[in-house]
Amino acid sequence: MENLKQSILELITDTSTNLPPDVRRAVNAAKVKEDLGTRAALSLSTIAQNVVMAEENVSPICQDTGMPTFEVKTPVGVNQLIIKQAIKEMIAEATKTGKLRSNSVDSLTGENTGDNLGPGTPVIHFEQWEEDEIEIKLILKGGGCENKNIQYSLPCELEGLGKVGRNLDGIRKCILHAVYQAQGQGCSAGFIGVGIGGDRTSGYALAKHQLFRKVEDVNQNADLAALEDYIMETANQLGIGTMGFGGNSTLLGCKIGVENRLPASFFVSVAYNCWAFRRQGVRLNPETGEILRYLYKDEEVAMDLTPVAATDDAGEKRREVVLEAPISEEQIRSLRVGDVVIINGEMHTGRDALHSYLMDHDCPVDLNGGIIYHCGPVMLKDQEGEWHVKAAGPTTSIREEPYQGEIIKKFGIRAVIGKGGMGAKTLKALNEHGAVYLNAIGGAAQYYAECLEKVEGVDFMEFGIPEAMWHLRVKGFAAIVTMDSHGNSLHADVEKSSAEKLAQFAAPVFK
């Protein structure tokens, strides 16, 4: 097994940096479906560019390289302990070289282990099989989309859809609801794996396992094949769109599996995966560990890089406003939902640990007129001790909803950048203080890393790399105003309109 470690490292690197062809085809098709010039089309254009950059730079497509989850099949007689050890070593190695973000955190203390190893990380499932080769599959599913997973216990009642029975039609309602409740927060357009049955644990495992099916794969169960088709057709009518900006591409794939259940239980479990659907697999020679072939590389698919002009709904070119901190209240009040903002100068990252800390502590830097970026980057230090940004897209902002409004006011912040939008409390604070919420394109970690020209400093390294407060100098960082200081929220609008559309699918479809 002299090649085993190298093969595993290659698999991890490829999964993190090179989007598989079936996913590329789906993202390209989504772009064609969006109306030219819309926010959704613009986002897909950035996403396509980002995919190309990640492959070229051999750097993470998204900074959140997720919970590494391996499914390993071995012929009888192969020592699984050796494979487990090799996986762990190569996970640590890939973390050291910035192919993975250090993502394993002690649940109680919040301490980051720094090498992606720890109790429960990585996840490795072993199985024996009759074939002669070793198969290793890997999925890197990020935290933001994982947070949008949902499990339904039937029968139940769902807002807008009414009673949900223990039958195919009830399952249909659950899946539509699952897509609706994710809105743009899991970096739509997404892919879902659904597990029908099992218990609470095996149901979710089944759902996640469905994500290993190819996007074009047709379900062998005719009922489920019909349901998958129906969901693809219908979910895309909800109007959530890429990043939740509204639009025609909300869902790029739906795969449904079924297992037996207990008489008393009926679970429908849904695993939501962002567009940055990173999964790959290899077949290995059982003697040498050398890669024989990849499982998800049927052809080379180039990303569609056709440029998209930024126009508003009336076809007018979108207003572009350049901002540089410190930003004045007047500048902020002139911004409206839909404006494109280009940021130069200084910004600071901050996510969960920082927001909670700032509630009752001072900030080491002056944030008056400043910009906070909800981002947990991948960082590498060079030999001179200087930090470099390797991947740095936004994280889901709604997690900061309990803190954000107060923090904006306490420190005089004028702009918050993130993705997926924020709630009513933040919207109120934006209005009262004079601040904006800017939506960056989730998952576009290479695209944004290139705008982050210099790391000026860092505070709170004790929170771990993703949670630390990085002080960055940026150039040409583009984002869209999705919540302004006049009480407008694109997110609230899309949520409302998609809820109305969801309710149109309440009537039974399947027997």
Ligand X SMILES: O=C(O)C[C@H](O)C(=O)O
The residues of the shown chain that bind ligand SF4, judged by CB under 6 A, are 62, 64, 142, 144-145, 186-187, 274, 276, 393, 442-443
Closest CA to 400 of 444, 357, 352: 352
Nearer to ligand SF4, 393 or 466 (CB): 393
Q: Are 207 and 152 in contact (CB under 8 A)?
A: no
Query: 73 vs 399, which CB is nearer to ligand X?
Result: 399
Distances (CA, A) of 260 to 127, 199, 203, 219, 267: 20, 9, 10, 17, 10
Shortest spacing between CB 209 and ligand SF4, in angstroms: 19
Which of 224, 416, 361, 285 lies closest to 2 in space, CA to CA?
Answer: 285
102 binds, among ligand X, ligand SF4, none (CB under 5 to 8 A by kind): none
Distance CA 466, CA 386 (A): 17
Q: Determine the Cα–Cα distance for residues 65 and 59; give it in Å rounded to an integer.
A: 11
Indicate the residue among 144 and 412 with the shorter CB distance to ligand SF4. Answer: 144
Binding at 376: pick from ligand X, ligand SF4, none (beta carbon under 5-8 Å per type): ligand X
CB of 190: closest distance to ligand SF4 in angstroms?
8
Residue 276 contacts which entry, ligand X, ligand SF4, none (Cβ below 5-8 A, type-dependent): ligand SF4
CB of 62: closest distance to ligand SF4 in angstroms? Answer: 3
What size, in residues, is the chain? 511
Chain residues binding ligand X by CB under 6 A are 63-64, 142-144, 376, 395-396, 442
Least Å distance, CB 238 to ligand X, is 20
How far apart are CB 277 and ligand X at their closest, in Å?
13
| Nearest CB to ligand SF4, comparing residues 43 and 74 | 43
Q: Hunting for tokens 């302004």 — which residue is that?
A: 484
Question: Based on CB atoms, which residue is closest to ligand X, 173 or 351?
Answer: 351
- Residue with Cβ nearer ligand SF4 (235 or 276): 276
Find the shortest distance in angstroms from Cβ 73 to ligand X.
Answer: 28
Distance CA(209)–CA(188), nearest Å, equals: 20
How far is CA 143 from its chain centroid? 7
Q: Please check whether residue 121 is in contact with residue 104, taking contact to mean a CB–CB distance below 8 angstroms.
A: yes
Q: Which residue, 98 or 142, is less far from ligand SF4 as judged by CB? A: 142
| E-assigned strand segments in 232-277 | 251-258, 267-273
CB of 445 to ligand X, least distance (A): 8
Dihedral Cα 366, 368, 369, 371, nearest 10 deg = 50
Whole-number Å distance between alpha carbons of 411 and 469: 15
Three-class DSSP labels, 335-385: CCCCCEEEEEEEEEECCHHHHHHHCCCCCCCCCCCCEEECCCCEEEECCCC
Query: Residue 170 or residue 394: which is nearer to ligand SF4 going by CB?
Result: 394
Min CB(509)–ligand X separation in Å: 32
- Residue with the shortest CB distance to ligand X: 144
Sign of CA dihedral 320, 323, 328, 332: positive
Shortest reach from residue 256's CB to ligand SF4, in Å: 21
Residue 60 or 257 with smaller CB distance to ligand SF4: 60
CA dihedral sign of residues 64, 67, 68, 73: negative
